[in-house]
Chains A and B, each alone.
Chain A
Amino acid sequence: MTTFKTIGKSEPRRDLPEKLTGEAKYTADVQLPGMLFGKILRSPHPHARILSINVDAARNLPGVRAVVTPFDAPKGQVAPDMPILDTEARYVGDEVAAVAADDEDLAEAALSLIEVKYEQLPFVTDAVEAIKPDAPQTRPGGNLVGGKPLTLIRGSVEEGFAQADRIFEETYSTPAQAGAALEPRAAVASWDGDNLTVWKSTRGVHADQLALSLALDVPRGNIRVMGQNMGAGYGTKDETRLGAITAVLAQRAGRPVKIELTRQEEFVAGRHRHGTTTTVRMGVKNDGTVTAVHATTIMDTGAYLSSGPGVIRRAGQGALYLYRCANVQYDGYLTYTNTPSGGSYRALGAPQGHFALESLADTISEALGIDPLEFRLKNHVGLEGQPGERVTPANEVLDTQPVEGGVPFSSNGLRECLQRGSEAIDWGQPSERPESGNLRRGKGMGMFIYRGGAGGRSIARMRLESDGSLRLLTGLMDVGEGSLTVMPQIAAEELGVGYGQVLVTFGDSETTPEAPLTAGSTATFSTGTATKEAARQLKARIIEVVAPLLDTEPSNLQITDDGVEHIQYPERSVSFAQIAESVGEIEVEAAISPGSRDHVINSFGAHFAEVEVDTDTGQVRVLRYIAAHDSGRILNPKLAINQVEGGVSQMLGFTLSEQMLTDPRNGVTLNASFLEHKSPTVQDFPEMQVLFADVVDPVGPFGAKALGEPPSIGVAPAVANAIYNAIGVRIRDLPLTPDRVLNEIEAQRGDSQ
C-alpha cells in the first residue's frame, strides 16, 4: 500500500486562522484612498423598454461623482445576451443605471433623483407558460432558448418502451433556490491611466479578466483582477456585470469605486438554482430490468441565459446515464421568463433531474414489489459504462457527460456506496424508536452520477524562491471548498516535502498563471493535475542542479523536508536555501488540458435519509442522514467530510423549506431575505454520517475524482422517498413544506374514503 506524507491527511485549512479571527479580508473590506461608493438603480417592472433617463438632478446633487445609463454606457457585452447596461429591463431588479458618490447614503439619494420613462411590455413569469405558443415574448427570438429543445438520444426509446412490460411516468417540479451566500457580491475598481484593477467576489480571475476586457474594450493585459476571500458563492459568483458597471463608474469619476450589493439585491440580482418541471417516463420488465428512460425538463433561466445551457444539459445526465439502459432520451427546454436570472449553483441541474428520476425509481420499485435498494443494485450503471457503440473517435478525449455507450468509466464505486450506505442506515430494518401518536418514521434513498473531474486548461507554476522557500502559484480561487489547502498537499506530496513547506499564491490574474473557474467540481482534478506535474518538474530540476553540487548522479539524490540529500550518505546534503543561493530561483510551469481518451471520469454516490413526519402539523424532521460517495481517493478527509455535510445541509433547505417566489401579477420577488427564503439553521440538521468508497481512480491526481458538487444531488430524492416510506404520500413539488404535506395527507384521506 502506498504511504503518503500528506495526501489523505486532514491538514487544517490554510485560511482557517484568519477567518476565525476575523482577519480575513473580503472584497467589501477593500479600502482605497479617495474611494467612492456606487449604487445601482433597478427596474420596478418585469419587462419594460427604457425610453429615457433624466439624470440631471442626480448629477447635480453635491457629492455625486459619476453616473452611467444604458444610453451612455460602453457598448460591449458582459455576456452574449447582456450588455453592460441595456435599454430593456427584463425582470424586477434588473440593472437600469448606476451612480457613484462620496458615500453610500448620497449614492442612494442620487438614485431616487433619477427619472426613468418606461414603456411597459407584456411579461411572463412561469416557464411552462412561457413556451406556450401565445405566451408574451421576453425576447424577439422567442422564449425558448435556441428555438428548440436540447435533445440527446442513445438507442431508441420507442424500442425500449416496446420491450417494456410496464411503463411509468411522473412529473416533478423544483423551485428557484437562492444560493444565499453570507457575503453579498461586491466589486471595487480602480484605474491608473489605461490600467484597470478590479477586486471582486469571484471564482475565476482569468475568466473575469477576459469578460471585462471584452465588455470594456480594454486589452486583457491592461486589466488585473484580484480575487479576495469569498464569503461563499456555491457557484453563483461567476459573472461580471457588477464588475463592469463599477469599472465604468470609476473611469468616469477618476476615482476608485466600490459597489456592495444589499442583502435584498443579492437575493434578487444574484443568481439562483433554476426552477424546473421534469417528466420522467421509464419502461421496465416485470423483473425490474430498465428498458427505456425518457426525461423532459422545462427549465426557467429567468431574464438572462447565464449558465443556463450548462444547467439544462446537466439536468438530463441522470436520466441518460445513471441506469444501465440501451434506449434513453432527454429533451431539455431552457426558457426565458421575466424573473430573476438563474445561474450556476452547486451541481447545476443535476439535483433537479435526479429528484424526478430517483423519485420515480421508488414508485416503480413499489409497483413491481422490488425493494428500492434492490432495484438500484440491479440496474445501476457499472464500471463498463452504458451499452452501445462508442461514437467519439478513439484518439479524442471523451466527454465527461457522455450520451454514447461503449465507453467505460475510469472507476465506479456506486455499488459500494449503495451497499455501505444501506448498511449504515440499517436499510430494511424498521426505525429504531417506535412510532408514536402522529409521528411516523421512514427511510429513503437516492443514488446519483456526476461529471466533475476534468475541467478546462489549467496552468500551475512552482518555484524555489531565492530565500529557499517553495511556492505554488495558480490563478485558482478557493471559494470555500478548500483548494487553498489541497493544492499544496498535492504539491508537497509530489515534491516529497512536508505540507507546511509549500506556500501558495492564488487568484491574481497578473501574478498567477491561468486556471479555470473553480466550477463543476473540477479544481482538484484539473488544477491538481497541473500542480502535480509542476511539482514533479520542480523536483527533477532541483535534483538536477544539486547533483553537481554534491558531486553525484541525480539518481542518488532525494528531496527531504530540509532540502536535498544523498540516499546512501544522508550527511551529504544541501538545504533549499543553499540551493537557491547557489543556483538562484528555479521556476517551472506545467500546463495541462485534463481529460481521458479511454475513460469517462465520473463521481458517484448514494444518500440515505431517515425522517419523522408529524401528520398533524405536516412537519418533517430528518433524523439521520448517510451520505456515501465515490470521489476517488480522498485527499483531505476532514475537508471532504465538511464538503459533504455542507452540501447536504444546503440541499435539505432546497428539499424542505427554501424557494424564491415571484408574484405572477407584477414579477416582484416576494421573499428576498434570509427570513423568508427559508434556509435551514443548525437546529434543522440531522445527525450525519459521511462514507467514502474505497476507490483510487487510475486517472485523477493521486487517485482523486470530484467532490465539490455531488453532495447536493441525492438529498431531495432521499428525503422525499423517506417521507413516502413514512406516510405513504408522495409530494412531487419541492420544497416539502408543512402545507404541502398536510394537503397531500388530506387528499389521500379524501381518495381513500
Chain B
Amino acid sequence: MKPFKFEQATTAVQASQTHADAAPNARFISGGTDILGEIKESVLEVNILVSLAGLSGASEIISSDLGLEIGALVTLARIASDQSIVETYPALAQAAESVATPQIRNVGTLGGNLCQRPRCWYYRSPLFDCLKKGGETCFASDEGNKYHAILGAENCHIVHPSDVAVALLALDATVVVSNASGDRQMPIGDFFVSPDVNMLAENVLEPGEFVSKVKIPKPSSGTRSVYLKAKERQAYDFALSSVAVSLEVRDETITQAHVVLGGVAPVPYSVPQVDSELTGQKIREVDVQAIGQLAVKDAQPLSDNSYKVRLTASMVARAVSRLISE
C-alpha cells in the first residue's frame, strides 16, 4: 500500500475541485468498503482520497408523492430497513438487504455501491495485468471464468457487482451527479457503461464528478417489484445471478414490465424483449418458463459458466412468478 493523502471535503464544490485537480490519481471515498480493499491489495494506487462523508444533505431519504430521493451517503442498512422503501420499492430494499454482511451494510453507502469496481479475480490481483487495468489480455476469456459474464461482454468479461443498481434500473431510477459547476442527471441505465465503451471505468463519471443522489419515480398503485439473488452461501456473497423485476398490473393484465439481470453482464442488464413480451399479457396466462428462456436468449457463456444461463432463466421465471401471484 502506497501512502496517500486524505482530504475531508465539506462542500460539494470543494470535493469536486480537489478531486479534479488531482485526477487521475484521486478517488472519492464514503464508506470505503470497496476502495480500501483495492488500495490494501495493491490493485489501486492513489495520491489522494477525497472523503464525501462530511457533505451535508447527502444522507437523507426523502419520500414524496413524486417519488423517492436517496442521498448518496445513505447506508445500505438504512435502505434495507427504511419503511417507505420496504413498502413502496421492495426490490430496492431487498437488493440492499442482500449485500454482503451487516457490518458492511452499516458503512457501505448507496453512492459507493453504485461506483464499486468489478470483483473479477483477475482485476483484483496485482499479479494479472488485465484489460481493465490497461493490460492486453482478458484472463477470463478461456478459463477460470465461473463468475464471469454471459451477456453483453465482448473483450472484458467482468460482471457488474452491484445488487442495488439492478433494482434501481428496474425501478427506472435517475442518478444525480455533482461536479464543481453543479449537477447533471441521467437515467441509471445511461450511468453505467460497458468495457467496450470505456475499458477503464464502469460509469460515465468525469474527473471531479461523484454521485450525489438517486431519484426513483413513485410507482403507480398497481406496481409490484422484487429482487432475487442466487449465491453460493447465504450471506457475504456477490450474486452468481440476480434479477429485479418491476411489474405494473391493472385488471389482471401487465401494463408495464421491467426485468433487469445482475451478476451476468458488465452492466446491470435490461432485457427489453422480455419487457415487451410481458406487457399486455394476462397475469394468469404468463408462461414464466418461456419468459425466463427469453431473458437469456442472447447468452454467450464461457467455458465454466454455462450454468448461469439456466440459473438466470430460473431466477427470472421465479421472480415473475412471484410477482404475478402477489
Interface residues of chain A, those whose CB is within 8 Å of chain B, are: 44, 92, 105, 108, 264, 438, 616-619, 656-657, 661, 663-666, 668, 670-671, 674-676, 678-684, 737-739, 742-743, 746
Q: Is the CB of B232 within 8 A of A678?
A: yes
CB distance from A656 to the nearest CB of B (A): 8
The residue of chain A having its C-beta at the shortest distance from the C-beta of B313 within the complex is A616
Known A617-B315, A742-B307, A746-B310; further 16 A-B contacts with Cβ < 8 A: A108-B1, A616-B314, A618-B311, A619-B230, A656-B232, A656-B233, A670-B121, A675-B237, A681-B233, A681-B236, A683-B234, A737-B232, A739-B305, A739-B308, A739-B311, A743-B306
Q: Is the CB of B311 within 8 A of A105?
A: no
Q: Would you list the 3 A-B pairs with minimal beta carbon distance, nearest first? A: A683-B234, A616-B314, A739-B307
Most chain A CB atoms below 10 A, which of B127, B233, B317? B233
Residues of A within 8 A of B3 (CB): 105
Tell me the complex Cα distance, A438–B175, Å: 38
Tell me the complex Cα distance, A62–B287, Å: 71
Complex A-B: 7 CB contacts under 8 Å: A92-B127, A616-B317, A619-B230, A670-B121, A670-B144, A676-B121, A680-B234
B250, CB-defined interface residue at 8 Å: no
The residue of chain A having its C-beta at the shortest distance from the C-beta of B100 within the complex is A675
Tell me the complex Cα distance, A438–B315, Å: 12
B240, CB-defined interface residue at 8 Å: yes
Residues of B within 8 A of A680 (CB): 233-234
The residue of chain B having its C-beta at the shortest distance from the C-beta of A45 within the complex is B127
Q: Is the CB of A665 within 8 A of B139?
A: yes
Tell me the complex Cα distance, A105–B145, Å: 34
Residues of A within 8 A of B305 (CB): 739
CB distance from A436 to the nearest CB of B (A): 13
Q: Is the CB of B234 within 8 A of A44?
A: no
Contact flags B70-85 to A (C-beta < 8 A → 1, else 0): 0000000000000000
Q: How many residues of B contact A (CB 8 A)?
A: 31
CB distance from B228 to the nearest CB of A (A): 9
CB neighbors of A among B270-321 (8 A):
304-308, 310-311, 314-315, 317-318
Residues of B within 8 A of A661 (CB): 144
Cβ contact of A743, chosen from B143, B233, B307, cutoff 8 A: B307
CB distance from A655 to the nearest CB of B (A): 12
B125, CB-defined interface residue at 8 Å: yes
CB distance from B163 to the nearest CB of A (A): 15
B133, CB-defined interface residue at 8 Å: no
Residues of B within 8 A of A666 (CB): 127-128
User: Taking chain B's interface residues, is the majority helix, strand, or loop, or is none over half, making it mixed?
Assistant: loop
Tell me the complex Cα distance, A657–B237, Å: 11
Q: Is the CB of B232 within 8 A of A44?
A: no
Q: Is the CB of B1 within 8 A of A668?
A: no
CB distance from A150 to the nearest CB of B (A): 32
Tell me the complex Cα distance, A101–B234, Å: 42
CB distance from B319 to the nearest CB of A (A): 12
The residue of chain B having its C-beta at the shortest distance from the C-beta of A112 within the complex is B2
B41, CB-defined interface residue at 8 Å: yes
Q: Is the CB of A684 within 8 A of B314?
A: no
Residues of B within 8 A of A671 (CB): 121
Q: Is the CB of B146 within 8 A of A739?
A: yes
Residues of A within 8 A of B230 (CB): 617, 619, 738
The residue of chain B having its C-beta at the shortest distance from the C-beta of A683 within the complex is B234
Q: Is the CB of A657 within 8 A of B311?
A: no
Tell me the complex Cα distance, A235–B101, Å: 28
Q: Is the CB of A657 within 8 A of B144?
A: no
Cβ contact of A738, chosen from B1, B101, B236, B240, cutoff 8 A: B240
B86, CB-defined interface residue at 8 Å: no
Residues of B within 8 A of A670 (CB): 121, 125, 144
Cβ contact of B144, chosen from A108, A663, A678, A742, cutoff 8 A: A663
Q: Is the CB of A678 within 8 A of B237?
A: yes
B186, CB-defined interface residue at 8 Å: no
Q: Is the CB of B235 within 8 A of A681?
A: yes
The residue of chain B having its C-beta at the shortest distance from the C-beta of A675 within the complex is B236
Residues of B within 8 A of A617 (CB): 230, 311, 314-315
The residue of chain B having its C-beta at the shortest distance from the C-beta of A742 within the complex is B307
Contact flags B212-250 to A (C-beta < 8 A → 1, else 0): 000000000000000000101111110010000000000
Tell me the complex Cα distance, A108–B118, Å: 26
The residue of chain A having its C-beta at the shortest distance from the C-beta of B142 within the complex is A665
Q: Is the CB of A738 within 8 A of B144?
A: no
Residues of A within 8 A of B310 (CB): 742, 746
Residues of A within 8 A of B317 (CB): 616
Q: Is the CB of A264 within 8 A of B41?
A: yes
Residues of A within 8 A of B1 (CB): 105, 108
CB distance from B217 to the nearest CB of A (A): 31
The residue of chain B having its C-beta at the shortest distance from the C-beta of A671 within the complex is B121
Tell me the complex Cα distance, A657–B144, Å: 16
Residues of B within 8 A of A668 (CB): 125, 127-128
Residues of B within 8 A of A742 (CB): 307, 310-311
Tell me the complex Cα distance, A680–B231, Å: 11
Tell me the complex Cα distance, A682–B101, Å: 11
Residues of A within 8 A of B236 (CB): 674-675, 681
CB distance from B318 to the nearest CB of A (A): 7
Q: Is the CB of B127 within 8 A of A678?
A: no
Most chain B CB atoms below 10 A, which of A105, A663, A664, A683? A663
Tell me the complex Cα distance, A674–B128, Å: 20
CB distance from B33 to the nearest CB of A (A): 11
Residues of A within 8 A of B127 (CB): 44, 92, 666, 668
Tell me the complex Cα distance, A617–B317, Å: 11
The residue of chain A having its C-beta at the shortest distance from the C-beta of B127 within the complex is A668
Cβ contact of A684, chosen from B233, B240, B318, cutoff 8 A: B233
Residues of A within 8 A of B308 (CB): 739
Tell me the complex Cα distance, A746–B146, Å: 17
Tell me the complex Cα distance, A737–B306, Å: 14
The residue of chain B having its C-beta at the shortest distance from the C-beta of A104 within the complex is B1
CB distance from A375 to the nearest CB of B (A): 32
CB distance from A619 to the nearest CB of B (A): 7
CB distance from B18 to the nearest CB of A (A): 24
The residue of chain A having its C-beta at the shortest distance from the C-beta of B317 within the complex is A616
Residues of B within 8 A of A743 (CB): 306-307
The residue of chain A having its C-beta at the shortest distance from the C-beta of B237 within the complex is A678
CB distance from B212 to the nearest CB of A (A): 28
CB distance from B324 to the nearest CB of A (A): 15
Residues of B within 8 A of A674 (CB): 236
Residues of B within 8 A of A656 (CB): 232-233
CB distance from B143 to the nearest CB of A (A): 8
Residues of A within 8 A of B304 (CB): 739
CB distance from B17 to the nearest CB of A (A): 29
Residues of A within 8 A of B146 (CB): 739
CB distance from A713 to the nearest CB of B (A): 22
CB distance from A152 to the nearest CB of B (A): 37
Tell me the complex Cα distance, A618–B309, Å: 12
Q: Is the CB of A616 within 8 A of B144?
A: no
CB distance from A123 to the nearest CB of B (A): 14
Tell me the complex Cα distance, A674–B233, Å: 12
Q: Is the CB of A618 within 8 A of B307?
A: yes
Tell me the complex Cα distance, A345–B163, Å: 36
Q: Is the CB of A738 within 8 A of B232?
A: yes
Tell me the complex Cα distance, A678–B125, Å: 17
Q: Is the CB of A616 within 8 A of B318?
A: yes
Residues of B within 8 A of A108 (CB): 1
Given known pairs A616-B314, A617-B315, the reply for A683 and B144 (CB within 8 Å) is no
CB distance from B210 to the nearest CB of A (A): 25
Residues of A within 8 A of B235 (CB): 681-684
Residues of B within 8 A of A618 (CB): 307, 311
Tell me the complex Cα distance, A679–B317, Å: 29
Residues of A within 8 A of B125 (CB): 668, 670
Q: Is the CB of A681 within 8 A of B234?
A: yes
Residues of B within 8 A of A738 (CB): 230, 232, 240, 307, 311
Tell me the complex Cα distance, A734–B234, Å: 18
Tell me the complex Cα distance, A674–B103, Å: 14
The residue of chain A having its C-beta at the shortest distance from the C-beta of B315 within the complex is A617
CB neighbors of A among B1-16 (8 A):
1, 3
Tell me the complex Cα distance, A172–B88, Å: 50
